[in-house]
Amino acid sequence: MTAKLSVVISTVGSPDRISRFSEVISHLRNLKPASPEIVIVWQGDEDCKDFDLEGVNIIKVPFFGLSMARNFGASQTTGDYLMFLDDDTYPVGSDFFQRSLQKLKDKKWDFLVCNIRSEGKLKAAREISSDLEFSRRSIVGNFWEPALLIPKNIFHAIEFDESLGIGCVHGASEGLDFGLRLLNAGFRGGRAHNLHIDHPPLQLERTPNLQRAFFYSMGNGAVLAQHQLYLDYARQISRAMLKLGGGALLLRGHVARAAWVRVICLLLGPAVPRGRPRILPTPAGPTASSAK
């Protein structure tokens, strides 16, 4: 009996992402041997009528929180395996799921992530040329949620920490935290060099985003300290301080300000209490529907 795949995508349905989102759904429908179950957790108030979502299970929720949305979406699936994607990423190749399952079997892994394919000078992540098995050290900088493939029963034994990730004060590193907790629980996993997801080109920011620096740095610092990765924690702080000094010397105030925010928030992150995502002012209660 062939294992069944369920894909979970969390989105806020931004209208400027319609084209890319539709492309993601199209690629998922072409996965073999059978099209996977697709569950979309729709956060916020945007209408989904303009998106090409025929045959997709859409669940509208009244909160804005990435980890919570992923956990909730996973609870609504029926597959044996879960794959998490962003609304702008898709697996490369119609046989991606089959090759992923074979990789898990060959490596005796319980979960895997893969390489990221993207165009442009700024890359979402560095590529690897050979498979990488995760340890507490090697997982840092090599684990992310898009295209994470994991058996459903293992996922539900761990799940994403809902006090981490976009929508929370500690707005990042929920993937690293999840991966480390998988390792701590005795599960094995790694990054496969010959499996890819497609990521849209990243744009270089002319002016650093202070809000992004704040939320991401809070999450980065909190998770590195929580898991006692003190060397990586010190490196993050040192890099931010060097950037702060460079920005000040070159009279680039916007760079110095963003670096200063990062330094402060890396230090504050472990001390600030975590909380669940904020609730949006929408009608209470998630609703599920299948687009026809």
Res 228: pLDDT? 97
- Provide the pLDDT for residue 180: 97
Rounded CA-CA distance 279/112 in Å is 32
pLDDT at 292 over 60: no
Of 46 and 108, the one with more pLDDT: 108
**pLDDT classification of 176: cutoffs 50, 70, 90:** very high
The arithmetic mean of pLDDT across residues 104-116, rounded, is 95
Q: Which fold would CATH assign to domain 5-203+278-290?
A: Spore Coat Polysaccharide Biosynthesis Protein SpsA; Chain A (3.90.550)
43 with 61: CB under 8 angstroms? yes
Please tell me which residue, 118 or 112, carries the higher pLDDT value. Answer: 112
Chain segment 205-258, per-residue pLDDT in tens: 666 688 989 999 999 999 999 999 999 999 999 999 999 999 888 878 888 999
Tell me, what's the pLDDT at 262? Answer: 95
CA distance 73 to 66: 10
The whole-angstrom separation of Cα 266 and Cα 269 is 5
pLDDT on residue 32: 86
CA–CA separation, 211 vs 258, rounded Å? Answer: 9
According to the model, what pLDDT value does residue 290 have?
A: 52
Q: What are residue 264's phi and psi, to 5 degrees? A: -60, -45
The answer on pLDDT for 55 being more than 90 is no
Question: Which residues are CB-contacts of 91 (< 8 A; sequence separation ≥ 6)?
Answer: 27, 28, 31, 83, 85, 97, 147, 195, 196, 197, 198
Provide the greatest CA pair distance for the chain. 64
- Using left for φ > 0, alpha for ψ between -120 and 50, and beta otherwise, residue 173 falls in left
Instruction: Write the CA distances from 173 to 59, 67, 133, 284, integer angstroms.
Output: 25, 10, 19, 28
Distance separating alpha carbons of residues 21 and 148, to the nearest angstrom: 18
Gap between the Cα atoms of 17 and 118, Å rounded: 17
Domain map (residue ranges) of the chain: 5-203+278-290, 210-268
Percent of the chain with pLDDT over 90: 62
pLDDT band at residue 6, thresholds of 50, 70 and 90? Answer: very high
